[in-house]
Structure 1
């Protein structure tokens, strides 16, 4: 399984058929930015021990050309991320 940035998380290069393309919109720059952000996210998830097999990160471009990172999680990975988010929130004093 080859991931974005070599972090072990499954990814795809591009979703070129995902929408309508508008002349003059720079979709490639947005996609590149999203690819970098997906690699950062994948690396962070790996560091905290989220199982790579349960995570799919995909870089894309929005209708305006801005980058978008699509995240797909298995049930187990979603629960892991939820626990990690709650721990981070508690450490930041944002429990509610």
Structure 2
């Protein structure tokens, strides 16, 4: 797993003002987990050749403190990811 920003995919830092915070909920652990998953997803997309300019990844925390990865794709990148998913499904025998 490479460091954040090494692969060219756009990522945002945590925004503490983005939502309502509830006392006692551990948002930071969820965000850290999402940050790692964001880096893993960015690495995987790079490996399969998805153009980084069309992808935006963001780590966040849900209302319950669980990690959330937000993925925003350009139309071209969405079609490319869809094609890659279909090819993978076919290889795994999951075409239905």
TM-score of the aligned structures, taking structure 2 as reference length:
0.93
Alignment check: 8 A CA contact 1:10 1:55 kept: yes
Query: CA deviation digits over 1:11-59, x for unaligned, max 9?
Result: 0011322211000111001001000000000000000000000000000
Alpha-carbon offset, residue 5 of structure 1? 4.9
1:34 aligns with 2:67: no
Q: Give 2:20's aligned residue.
A: 20
| Superposed counterparts of 1:5-16, under 5 Å | 5-16=5-16
1:92 Cα deviation (Å)? 0.5
- Secondary structure of the structure 1 residue equivalent to 2:64: coil
Residue segments in structure 2 that go unaligned for 5+ positions in a row: none
Question: Does residue 60 of the first structure (1) align with residue 63 of the second (2)?
Answer: no
The unaligned stretches of length 5 or more in structure 1 are none
